Amino acid sequence: MEKRILGLDPGLAIVGFGLITCQQIPAKIPETSVSMVDFGVIQTSAKMEMGQRLCTLFDDLHTVIQELQPDLVAVEKLFFYRMANTILVAQARGVLLLALAQHNLPYVEFTPAQIKQALTGYGNADKSEVQDAVARELDLEEIPKPDDAADALAVALTAWYQI
């Protein structure tokens, strides 16, 4: 049975997305395979008015969902580090969750530490270790660029490990 998992790395300027497929082999139930289908980013310009930026995220995520047809979405939880930035990301994240609800898509959420733990075995791993794990797990010759897309694939892989 195949499952399509869309990972999202929320942001206001850049939302990373990455879709993986997981295939469970019926004759060998414990065995599964995973592969990368697509990845990319949704971008908004700081020169745009805030409402327009949120509309762009909303519309573009609808397009991504329609094109990629995920069964499950995995979203990175907010990491609080600068209040002003956190509020902007929270607004963008709310728009993303609304789009998921409109498509009746189930979603799971993971903190950055949970993602690092799942991919590297260490909750305080650095970004390069996580990106190396993404490339290794998906059998990619190079780390996906930009970083936001690689992060989204890491979120999707974390969901795959949980199912």
Task: Please list the active-site residues.
Answer: 9, 76, 148
Type and span of the H or E element at 136: helix 127-137
Q: Which of 140, 122, 132, 46 is nearest to 85 (CA)?
A: 46
SS3 19: strand
Query: Comparing C-alpha atoms, which of 162, 117, 163, 154 is closest to residue 36?
Result: 154
